[in-house]
Amino acid sequence: MLELRNLSKSYASGRPVLSNLSWNFKAGEFVSIMGDSGVGKSTLLNLIAGLDTPDAAPGDSPIVVDGVPMSGLDDDAATKLRRARMGFIFQAFHVLPHLTLLQNVALPLLLNGLPTERAAEMLEAVGLGGRGGDFPHQLSGGEMQRVAIARALVHRPALVLADEPTGNLDPDTAHSILTLLRREIKATGACAIMVTHSQHAAEMTDKILQLSKTGIQETTNVNTFKQ
Ligand SMILES: Nc1ncnc2c1ncn2[C@@H]1O[C@H](COP(=O)(O)OP(=O)(O)OP(=O)(O)O)[C@@H](O)[C@H]1O
Ligand SMILES: [Mg+2]
């Protein structure tokens, strides 16, 4: 579903952040990525999302989504791929303040020319069924995250990218949001990659990857949550 092949990234200003990462992410897999602050987790998600560009590599594209080499795409094609095939739960992808919750969740459907009925179903699925007409400022942090999840999944993307989706939530809310995220991912068969600092959050995924200066490694000493 998503292949990383010798992916490297360095910023002009300094040392390399990621060097020669390779990994295969499979469809239907819910994977977490853990690692020290500053090791490059958000950078990695941004590269996969096409929001940042990897270092030039000779030969193969370092990022391949569903068989499509990302580096072969122009801006328009990359935007189309991102819009149709990916869902984001990033801090930078804020819920839009001037749209109602229902309009926010319907946005990916509209942008993809899809019928918008599913927006209401998704709001219902995240427990905000009665609040479609509310505006984001009327929500708590946890409710806002639920809207972000609904919006990220509403168009059934093949690839879901989440950067600390429960970072600022209390443990109970975090648990219910992760349960919801897991259920929706499994229902749609998406591949989901979640960056987290929380061991509990990581244990709710199928596989835990550790990102470090030496590369990506799967960690084995955890009780993987499966249902
Ligand atoms: N636009 C940029 N220009 C220069 N350096 C950057 C840029 N973005 C990130 N970096 C650097 O790249 C490194 C990795 O940053 P990144 O945000 O990916 O870390 P992270 O693993 O997500 O950390 P955290 O767990 O704190 O969120 C850091 O040293 C950071 O300072
Ligand atoms: Mg980060």
Q: Quick one: which of 44, 56, 72, 53 has its CA closest to 195?
A: 44
Average predicted confidence (pLDDT) for the chain: 90
* 47 in a structural domain: no
- For 81-119, the pLDDT digits (tens) are 999 999 999 876 778 999 999 999 999 999 999 999 999
* 55 in a structural domain: no
Q: How far is the CA of 90 from the centre of ligand 2 (A)?
A: 10
CB 142 within 8 A of CB 159: no
Q: How far is the CA of 21 from the centre of ligand 1 (A)?
A: 16
Show the domain range for 96.
26-39+78-219
Both tokens of residue 1?
């579903």
* 177 in a structural domain: yes
Domain count across the chain: 1
Of the ligands numbered here, which is closest to the C-alpha atom of 197?
Answer: 1
CA distance 117 to 88: 20
Both tokens of residue 147?
């809207």
Atom of ligand 1 nearest to the CA of 197: 25
The SS3 assignment for 179 reads helix
Compute how many other C-beta atoms are within 10 angstroms of the C-beta atom of residue 223. 6
* 53 in a structural domain: no
DSSP code, position 31: E
| Largest Cα–Cα separation, the chain | 53
The predicted model gives 28-36 an average pLDDT of: 95
Top mutation candidate among 9, 15, 39, 161 for ligand 1, by most atoms within 8 Å of CB:
39
Least confident of 60-74, 103-117, 193-207: 60-74
Atom of ligand 1 nearest to the CA of 35: 21
CB 205 within 8 A of CB 10: no
Q: How far is the CA of 40 from the centre of ligand 2 (A)?
A: 7
Cα first-last separation, the chain: 23
CB 163 within 8 A of CB 157: no
**Which residue's CA is the closest to the ligand 1 atom numbered 29?**
38
* 59 in a structural domain: no
Place of tokens 């995250």: 145
Q: What phi and psi, each to the nearest 5 degrees, are found at residue 138?
A: -90, 5
Q: How far is the CA of 129 from the centre of ligand 2 (A)?
A: 31
Asked if the model's pLDDT at residue 224 lies above 70, the reply is no
Both tokens of residue 70?
């990302």
Top mutation candidate among 7, 8, 15, 17 for ligand 1, by most atoms within 8 Å of CB:
17
Q: What is the pTM of this model?
A: 0.91
* 45 in a structural domain: no
Q: How far is the CA of 3 from the centre of ligand 1 (A)?
A: 22
* 21 in a structural domain: no
* 131 in a structural domain: yes
Asked if the model's pLDDT at residue 44 lies above 90, the reply is yes
Give me the amino acid identity at 106: A
CATH number, residue 199: 3.40.50.300
